[in-house]
Structure 1
Amino acid sequence: MGFDTQAIHAGEEPDFTGHPSGDVVVPVHLASTFARRDVDEPTGGFEYSRSGNPTRFALEKKLAAIENARYGLAFSSGLAAETTLCLSLLKAGDHVVAFDDLYGGTRRLFTRVFQESYGIHFSYVDARDPENVKAAIRRETKLVWLESPTNPLLRLCDIREIAGIAHDAGALVVVDNTFASPYFQQPIALGADVVVHSTTKYINGHSDSIGGALITSDEELFRNLRFHQNTAGAILSPFDSFLVARGIKTLAVRMERHERNALAVAGFLSAHRNVTAVYYPGLPSHPQHTLARKQMTGFSGMLSFELKGGKAEAKRFLRNLHLFALAESLGGVESLIEHPATMTHASVPQEERRNVGVSDALIRVSVGIENADDLIADLDQALGTL
């Protein structure tokens, strides 16, 4: 069954059994608890909404379907999903190898919480070269944590090759697939054990819900994650589950438009005199364009670029934009733009940012689905103020 069809129908088949209503859209089940007729048999498998809710259950089926996996779990945020995953799989003394170019919130969680408070060790490597991952693995390595493309430099790693390296060493592979979305990349098919999403971004797509997801095809791993989700309680609300499920139905058509606009914007920026570099895997000039074509079916709507100058020029440029909202987050239908060094990655120490390549001149763009000519005109006039 095609992705487009799964995105619309998975988890939302009309119910014609029992007391049927024929709902085409799964309703929002706001009940906190569910009555049962018999003491030892929860009605429909539901007993308490933290443990399971029909609206969230429908979304979780849809999340699994669009990643071509068996199981999905929906959380109150992307970081809640990451926290639950780490609490499920790691203990003091364990080791994680992670891509050095990560979302700032993920790196803060790893460093300030799991390393400083829980005694879990992290090594950050440039995973563009799989040999760097291999060299960093220790006997106590339990996870290899990847983003591809990365946030904010749009770097890629060879998921299949790294998965083979990790599995040979007895480690699991986690891939944050937020930037690509399941429409353009499916890491489980490439060997990943768990896929992480901030559903806040492309999956919901309308900047009106905070959420996260863990997706896997491993039954034992799923049961462990589900136990910890229920025990810790970081679940997605019924209404947010409804919003995310609704957003997924248009994911395919939105991603096609995001990509088309991003290609146009990236091409424009590449030719502008006040831009020194553009990072977008869809450009043939991107050093990993060939890998992107191999493991992705498209290039998504995220890009970043370097301005001539530094922080002062970046602030002036951002201040003069009209259509691009200066805001964190990404993946909504509206175009967003931000300055990683002072916004999404401000929690990463300056020296670490510079070592990775996050400069004061770096701008990150989430290209929306507006008219591409209007977006380019707005960028052009703001660049003209430099």
Structure 2
Amino acid sequence: MFMKKQDFRTKVIHGEATHYKDPYNSLVPPIYQTATFTFDTAEQVERRFAGDEEGPIYSRLGNPTVQMLEQKMAVLEEGEAALAFGSGMGAVSAVVLSLVNAGDHILCSKGVYGCTFGFLNMLHEKFNVSHTFSNLTNELEIESQLSNYTTCIYIETPINPTMQLIDLALVVKVAKKHKIKVVVDNTFSSPYLQQPLLFGCDIVLHSATKYLCGHGDVIGGIVVSDESYIEELSKTVRKDIGAIMSPFDAWLLLRGLKTLAVRMDRHCENAEEIVNKLSEHPKIESIVYPFSSSDQQLAKKQMKQGGGLITFSLKNGSKKTAQKLMNELNLIKIAVSLGDAETLIQHPATMTHAVVGEEERERMGITENMIRLSIGLEAWEDIWNDLEHALQKV
């Protein structure tokens, strides 16, 4: 039966897996909550281990519920295949490990998540895998920071927590010339707002804990790329290190994904209202939000909307001022995560990026008076009332 290409809002609901059809035709995908799978014959075991027959063997190697999630994520990111991991850092570390050998070099966007920073430092200390942070703003700059040992360019866009953007098409242009892989952490945007593979990037990853789940009750990671890369990643790093996702968490993510488009629209609408209010407040020094910043033109080029994350700094502020503001809040909760139904606030210098040294934080643009706000799904008026009350107290 012929069907036109579906809109993203339809694919998040109907882009289900075609494998492992439930014999009872359950509308909701079943949870295959099992560690291992039995076989009809010893010969069947041999065929599956040899790769001559499809089918589950052991849930660390592949589980039907998890594979349903992987197939859906591949569809949503316009990729060929995907792999699910037990955490966002499981996904990050698996991808980086798959692309480097001892002595190699990674070129990174100017800022990255604090634990990604810690992992890069560990690779440097233990295996002499070096990394360089770059603004990635023009071809000449990117070219000058590559070496014969550069194996990948690792990007966050928007960057956590500064919300700066990286021009994906520009980076891909340089990377293709040097046959270097481009990896994008797309957590802040979700595939609803940004699809890096369509710009020529090679690998996209997510902390599925955030917008993909949307309800703050799952820890998980996702990697999407071409079939050959995903197959190799599955057979090597994920299999041997074992950062797998549980079937129940995969089922929760499949459920959460169905409302991704609706939720992201609300996150973005609320964020725009809060940005407008903050921009008029006398105690705010600066605000960074993709669709209302100096990166606005680039944001509109590669993002559908601005997202639900806002970074702002307080006038004449300090760490104590920022913490005072957070302590005065009632509705908004202090937490390191993002993308939940609840509005969350955090102080990057002492929370998500506490592992990053002070000098490096300053180079990344993370100041003591900077606050990151993850806008939830509440009425924006209530979010603002809480913020306004707290601002009056600092």
TM bracket, shorter-chain basis = over 0.9
CA contact (8 A) 2:349 2:368 kept: yes
Show the counterpart of 1:355.
363
Provide Cα deviations, 1:59-107, integer angstroms capped at 9, x if missing partner.
Answer: 0001111101110100001111111112212110111000121111111
User: Which residue in 2 is equivalent to 1:367?
Assistant: 375
Residue 349 of structure 2: SS of its match in structure 1? coil
Deviations 1:222-256 (A, max 9, x none): 22211121122111000110111111110000000
Who is 1:159 aligned against? 168
CA–CA separation in structure 2 for the residues paired with 1:21 and 1:100 = 51
Q: Which residue of 1 aligns with 2:27?
A: 24
Q: List structure 1 segments (4+ residues) > 3 angstroms apart after TM superposition.
A: 12-16, 128-131
Give the letter for the 2:309 counterpart: M
- The residue aligned with 1:109 is 119
Aligned equivalents of 1:15, 1:110: Cα separation in 2: 38
Answer yes or no: is the 8 Å Cα contact 1:12–1:26 preserved in 2: no
1:237 and 2:246 matched: yes
Which among 91, 102, 117 is matched to residue 81 of structure 1?
Answer: 91
Q: Which amino acid aligns with 1:317?
A: L
Deviations 1:9-45 (A, max 9, x none): 22356976xx721011111111111111132335861
Query: Is structure 2 residue 348 aligned with structure 1 residue 343?
Result: no
Aligned-partner Cα distance in 2 for 1:369–1:63 = 23
Q: Who is 2:3 aligned against?
A: none
Match of 1:9 in 2: 14
Separation in structure 1 between the aligned mates of residue 199 and residue 347 of structure 2, nearest angstrom: 32
| 2:171 is the alignment partner of 1:171 | no
The DSSP-based 3-state class of the residue aligned with 1:306 is strand
Which residue number corresponds to residue 311 of structure 2? 304
Aligned residues of 1:99 and 1:146 also touching (Cα < 8 A): yes
Asked if structure 1 preserves the Cα contact closer than 8 Å seen for 2:136 and 2:166, the reply is: yes
Q: Please report the RMSD computed on the Cα atoms of aligned residues, expressed in angstroms.
A: 1.4
Are the counterparts in 2 of residues 98 and 122 from structure 1 also a CA contact under 8 Å?
yes
1:36 equivalent in structure 2: 39
Q: Give the 5 Å matches for 1:230-379.
A: 230-283=239-292, 286-308=293-315, 309-379=317-387
TM-score w.r.t. the length of structure 1 is 0.96
Alpha-carbon distance between aligned partners in 1 of 2:79 and 2:175, rounded to the nearest angstrom: 20
Among 67, 79, 100, the alignment partner of 1:57 is: 67
Which stretch of the first structure deviates more once superposed, 78-87 or 168-177? 78-87
Secondary structure of 2:83's partner? strand
Does structure 2 retain, via aligned residues, the 8 Å contact 1:3–1:66? yes
Q: Does the 8 A contact of 1:12 with 1:24 survive in 2?
A: no
Tell me how far apart the structure 2 counterparts of residues 14 and 174 of structure 1 sit (CA, whole Å). 28
- 8 A contact 2:20–2:64 mirrored in 1: no
Amino acid at match of 1:85: V
Aligned equivalents of 2:93, 2:194: Cα separation in 1: 23
Matched, 1:197 2:206: yes
**In 2: Cα distance, 1:122 partner to 1:130 partner:** 18
Listed as ranges, the gaps of 5+ residues in structure 2 are 1-5
1:348 counterpart letter in structure 2: V
The Cα shift of 1:133 comes to 2.1
Please give the alpha-carbon distance, in whole angstroms, between the structure 2 residues aligned to 1:31 and 1:161.
45
Q: What do residues 114-135 of structure 1 show as CA deviations (whole Å, max 9, x unaligned)?
A: 1111110101111244542222
CA spacing shift, 1:130–1:240, aligned 2, 3 Å:
farther
Partner amino acid, structure 2, of 1:289: Q
Partner of 1:66: 76
The gaps in structure 1 that reach 5 residues or longer are none
Deviation at 1:312, TM superposition (A): 1.4
Measure the CA separation in 2 of the matches of 1:127 and 1:206. 34
Partner Cα separation in structure 1 for residue 286 and residue 258 of structure 2: 35
Taking the aligned partners of 2:137 and 2:24, their CA distance within structure 1 comes to 52
1:383 aligns with 2:391: yes
Q: Secondary structure at the match of 2:387?
A: helix
Which string of whole-angstrom CA distances, capped at 9 and with x for unpartnered residues, describes residues 187-222 of structure 1? 0000110001000000011000000011002x3212
Relative to structure 1, is the Cα distance of residues 175 and 262 closer, same or farther in structure 2, using a 3 angstrom cutoff?
same
| CA–CA separation in structure 2 for the residues paired with 1:244 and 1:330 | 15
SS in 1 for 2:298: helix
Task: Tell me which residue corresponds to 1:98.
Answer: 108
